[in-house]
Amino acid sequence: MPRKMFVIFGVSNVLWMVFAVSQAFKVDIFPNESKIFAQIGDSVSLTCSATGCESPSFSWRTQMDSPLNGKVRNEGTTSTLIMDPVSFEDEHQYLCTVICGAMKREKAIRVEIYSFSKDPEIRLSSPPEVGKPVTVTCSVPDVYPFERLEIELLKSNRSMKVQEFLEPSEKKAQETKSLEVTFSPTDEDIGKALVCQATLHIYDDDSPPKERKTMKELEVYISPKDTAISVNPSTRLQEGDSVTMTCTSAGLPAPRILWSKKLDNGNLQLLSENATLTLISMRAEDSGIYVCEGVNLVGKDRKEVKLIVQEKMFTVEISPGPQIAAQIGHSVVLTCDVRDCESPSFSWRTQIDSPLNGKVRSQGSKSTLTLSPVSFEHEHFYLCTVMCGQKKLEKGIQVKLYSFPSDPEIEMSGPLVSGNPVTVSCKVPNVYPFDRLEIELFKGESIMMNKIFLEDASKKALETKSLEMTFIPTTEDTANVLVCLARLPIDEMEFEPKQRQSTQILYVNVAPRDTTILVSPSSILEEGSSVNMTCSSNGLPAPKILWSRQLSNGDLQPISENATLTFMSTKMEDSGIYVCEGINQAGISRKEVKLIIQGRESNKDYFSPEFLVLYCASALILTAIGMVTYFARKANMTGSYSLVEAQRTKV
């Protein structure tokens, strides 16, 4: 009994020691969480540590046995798995396995991936203007998983819209999500801030979500309004007086003030960009309508005032007329003529005090300003100022420039071929101002196309303008006339034509067609026979005929350029395919004929008529020769010969 108790006691001690050792050996993973969240592009380290074991052996794996895509570093009783940078491939349940002798322990941790690296972006569809709708877009770039995203747009502290993106992601990818709100700004929105707040609820517990926000101050604009003009001393003035006009306009941002004078043709001539416009030593020509404009980024507002400057008694005339159109490169003479003043004093200037760039000559009651050669620098409103004692009078003339030096140029994209599209171009070179130019294209009496160049010519330059049209010519167009007519409607042109034109006679080509071959006597012949093959082809201009023979490889060997191809005595080797081509500048037309040369048959040659005639003639000739020889010999023997005697003797 004591021995049995001793055995039981020993076994229990061993079991207790094994239990104590197993309890001392354990494994932990840092971070000490069952699940962690890793930002895409960041670095994550998982550290597995073993306690209660002097020489542990570590190994890492995913629960699905996918590739680790990380680096493992073992040091003593710890092992670290480093994922740098984190990507979608790193989203797994990771297991750290530790073996200590015969014992084995495992610890798991899950890595969830998210992307929320950039602040939201706020964009406006247009500059915000009071009373006009504007769309605000709040975008969150490169977010994942977006089904946990919430975007809220606030104006100051008031929420304008909240949007959640609850649809599940079909694939793992970073996406940009946005929220849009359209509203009409008011005066109260000035100085307020737009706040775009994005929240990513990546945690499943009560942990605070990830948040990012962007703030943008509202710069609300107000179009110019309530524009007003004050005039000191009055809108009615005497020559030599001065006047000060002040303009104000409300808006946000503060409008820029522009002063202009309305010309007789309704156009505005810019005078100043200051709020106050002062005109000194007023002249009668300074009378007119002055316009103040308040201008900012979102609009403009206008106010007008009419100034009347009373004239003096003497008169000034300027010629030629109040306006003149001057051809660039030519010369222009402006003449200022004074009446009812004995000793006038002259001076010339432009209305905006630009350099004259001309020569002034004054004599008696006249003064001339010569502009030569005329260039873009001379396009101004010129004023001739005349002093007569203490009185002053001014007369103005507007010099407008134009360039219309040559007739239009007609060009074709290629030769005219019946049925083939061709583009005709009508160019007007070195024209100014081209925004008044009109080009018309006629075919005979019918207009084909017209074009008016209404675009604004913002810069002063000579330009070439053109009209292009594509049409399909027919044979009926031959001898018809293309007319390109260009008009430059400047009323003051007196010595130059207001329109120019060019003409071109149409010569329409017709590609070769209806090519035919006439063979005489036949295309099947006996060797030694003659044959004529005549080719004809219709076209305009008349096609050139080219005869060729088709070789065995399909190539063509040119033979003749005559319409008729003749073989005087054919041979067997003349058999083959002969090709006739009708060629002109519009195209080619082809026709083929097969010539067959047959050999002579022997029996037919023997009984031919020519042979029989030759045979009979030979026989007769031989008989006659024999008879003559016979009678000649007999005459030699008797000393004489008589045909009668010969006949008698023969009888």
Cβ–Cβ < 8 Å for 157, 181: no
Cβ–Cβ < 8 Å for 190, 218: yes
Q: How many other CB atoms are found less than 10 A from the CB of residue 483?
A: 19
Predicted confidence at residue 16, as pLDDT, reads 38
DSSP 411-459: EESS--BTTS-EEEEEEEEEEBSGGG-EEEEEETTEEEEEEE--S---S
**Of residues 410, 419, 420, the one with CA closest to residue 448:** 410
Element holding 496 (H helix, E strand): none
Residue 426 lies in a domain: yes
Q: How confident is the model at residue 261 (pLDDT cuts 50, 70, 90)?
A: very high
**Of residues 88, 149, 83, 67, the one with CA closest to residue 116:** 149
Residue 19, pLDDT > 60, answer no
Same domain, 201 and 188: yes
- Give me 181's structure tokens: 């709100």
* Residue, of 86 and 496, whose pLDDT is higher: 86
- Give me 103's structure tokens: 């014992």
Q: For 580-599, what is the HEC assignment?
A: EEEEECCEEEEEEEEEEEEC
Residue 227 lies in a domain: yes
- Give me 149's structure tokens: 């995203």
Lowest mean pLDDT across 5-9, 46-50, 59-63, 547-551: 5-9
Residue 634 lies in a domain: no
Unique residue bearing structure tokens 């060797």: 527
**Of residues 531, 647, 542, the one with CA closest to residue 597:** 531
Helix (H) and strand (E) counts for the chain? Answer: 4, 46
Same domain, 395 and 464: no
Same domain, 214 and 122: yes
Same domain, 521 and 589: yes
Across the beta sheet with 323-327, what order do the strands follow? 323-327, 391-402, 381-388, 345-350
For the segment 629-650, the average pLDDT, to the nearest whole number, is: 42
Domain boundary (554, 569, 598) is at 598
- At 623, the amino acid letter reads T
Long-range contacts of 155-160 (CB under 8 A, 24+ apart): 155/183, 155/189, 155/192, 155/193, 155/194, 155/195, 155/218, 156/192, 156/193, 156/195, 160/136
Cβ–Cβ < 8 Å for 125, 209: no
Lowest mean pLDDT across 21-25, 133-137, 320-324, 570-574: 21-25
Quote the CA–CA distance of 344 and 424 in Å, as a whole number: 59
Element holding 51 (H helix, E strand): strand 44-51
Q: For 309-359, what is the HEC assignment?
A: EECCCCEEEEECCCEEEEECCCCEEEEEEEECCCCCEEEEEECCCCCCCCE
Same domain, 450 and 516: no
Element holding 614 (H helix, E strand): helix 609-638
Residue 160 lies in a domain: yes
Across the beta sheet with 576-584, what order do the strands follow? 524-526, 587-598, 576-584, 544-550, 556-560
In whole angstroms, how far apart are CA 166 and each of 65, 160, 282, 458?
A: 31, 20, 75, 54
Residue 230 DSSP label:
E
Domain boundary (247, 281, 310) is at 310
Q: How confident is the model at residue 71 (pLDDT cuts 50, 70, 90)?
A: very high
User: For 375-394, what is each residue's pLDDT tens digit?
Assistant: 888 888 899 898 887 788 88
Residue 443, pLDDT > 90, answer no
Name the average pLDDT for the chain: 83
Q: How many other CB atoms are found less than 10 A from the CB of residue 432?
A: 21
> CA 487, 492, 494: angle at the middle one, nearest 5?
85
Which residue segment(s) compose the domain that 97 sits in? Answer: 26-114
Quote the CA–CA distance of 165 and 142 in Å, as a whole number: 14
Same domain, 294 and 331: no
First CA to last CA across the chain, in angstroms? 193
Unique residue bearing structure tokens 């009708």: 582
Q: How confident is the model at residue 342 (pLDDT cuts 50, 70, 90)?
A: confident
Residue 566 lies in a domain: yes
User: For 29-60, what is each residue's pLDDT tens digit?
Assistant: 999 888 889 999 999 999 999 999 989 999 99
Residue 619 lies in a domain: no
Specify the 3-state DSSP secondary structure of 366.
strand
Number of domains in the chain: 6
- At 183, the amino acid letter reads F
User: Rg (Cα) of the chain, in Å, rounded?
Assistant: 56
Whether residue 85 has a cis bond before it, omega within 30° of 0? yes
Same domain, 256 and 346: no
Compute CA 236 distance to the chain's CA centroid, rounded to the nearest angstrom: 56
Predicted confidence at residue 311, as pLDDT, reads 67
Predicted confidence at residue 266, as pLDDT, reads 87
Same domain, 532 and 591: yes
User: For 145-182, what is each residue's pLDDT tens digit?
Assistant: 888 889 999 988 889 899 888 777 677 888 898 999 99
Quote the CA–CA distance of 66 and 312 in Å, as a whole number: 104
Domain boundary (154, 186, 218) is at 218
For the segment 351-380, the average pLDDT, to the nearest whole number, is: 87
User: For 407-431, what is each residue's pLDDT tens digit?
Assistant: 998 988 888 888 889 899 999 898 8
Predicted confidence at residue 219, as pLDDT, reads 83
Same domain, 159 and 110: no
* Residue, of 99 and 612, whose pLDDT is higher: 99
Cβ–Cβ < 8 Å for 402, 430: no
Predicted confidence at residue 137, as pLDDT, reads 95
- Give me 388's structure tokens: 């007569």
Element holding 10 (H helix, E strand): helix 2-24
Same domain, 124 and 214: yes
Residue 89 lies in a domain: yes
Predicted confidence at residue 603, as pLDDT, reads 40
Cβ–Cβ < 8 Å for 559, 604: no
CATH of the domain at 460: 2.60.40.10
Element holding 646 (H helix, E strand): helix 643-650
Instruction: Quote the crossing angle between the two packed helices 609-638 and 643-650, to the nearest 10°.
Output: 100
Predicted confidence at residue 651, as pLDDT, reads 30
Same domain, 123 and 203: yes
**Of residues 511, 485, 502, the one with CA closest to residue 411:** 502
Q: How many other CB atoms are found less than 10 A from the CB of residue 547?
A: 21
Residue 333 lies in a domain: yes
* Residue, of 238 and 83, whose pLDDT is higher: 83
* Residue, of 506 and 646, whose pLDDT is higher: 506
- Give me 403's structure tokens: 């360039």
Same domain, 382 and 327: yes
Predicted confidence at residue 631, as pLDDT, reads 53
**Of residues 621, 644, 650, the one with CA closest to residue 629:** 621
Return all residues near 248 (Cβ < 8 A) that are at least 6 apart.
226, 227, 228, 275, 294
Quote the CA–CA distance of 492 and 214 in Å, as a whole number: 63
- Give me 645's structure tokens: 């005697």
Quote the CA–CA distance of 346 and 378 in Å, as a whole number: 20
**What's the residue count for the chain?**
651
In whole angstroms, how far apart are CA 4 and each of 10, 15, 355, 574, 576?
A: 10, 17, 134, 133, 128
